[in-house]
Amino acid sequence: MARYAARIEISHLPGVADPQGATVERALPALGYTNVTELKIARSIRLVVEAADVTSAHIQVSEMCERILANPVIEAYEVAISQLAAP
């Protein structure tokens, strides 16, 4: 078994409103940034998982996303896995 670091980014599915992003985008012109569009706010989760190989780590973390870390009804997720050096 090896240890893998996972970086998970959870964002809204296309077409689902992002009220947080929209509100922040509206705040920027007040500071003079009138050139900003398409601001989206996503969440990032980091974890370390023990797995046989990188494929297994990816499958397990994706399953975690489906079951609890993301809400597939309104959210998309991306998983990036990298192997950690042995402790």
Partner 1 sequence: MSARIGVIQFPGTNCELDAVHACEVLGASAELLWHRESSPISVDAVIVPGGFAHGDYLRTGAIARFSPVMNALQEFAEAGGPVVGICNGFQILCEAAMLPGALQKNAGMKFRCEMSTLVVASQRSVLTADIELGAELRIPINHFEGNYTCDAATLEQLRGDDRIVLRYLENPNGSLDDIAGICNDTGNVVGLMPHPERACESVLGSIDGAALLGSLLRHALITATR
Comparison of 73 and 85: residue with beta carbon closer to partner 1: 73
Distance, in Å, from the CA atom of 83 to the CA atom of 50, rounded to the nearest integer, reads 10
At residue 32, the 3 state secondary structure works out as coil
Out of 49, 57, 69, 79, the residue judged to bind partner 1 by CB under 8 A:
69
Check residue 64 for interaction with partner 1 (CB under 8 A).
no
The interface region with partner 1, picked from 18-26, 28-36, 54-62, 79-87 by CB under 8 A, is 18-26
Q: What DSSP character marks residue 2?
A: E
- Give the helix ranges, DSSP H, for the chain: 19-27, 54-64
Partners of 44 in the β-ladder:
9
Q: Which of 29, 53, 54, 71 binds partner 1 (CB under 8 A)?
A: 71
Binding region for partner 1 (CB under 8 A): 15-17, 19-20, 22-23, 68-69, 71, 73-74
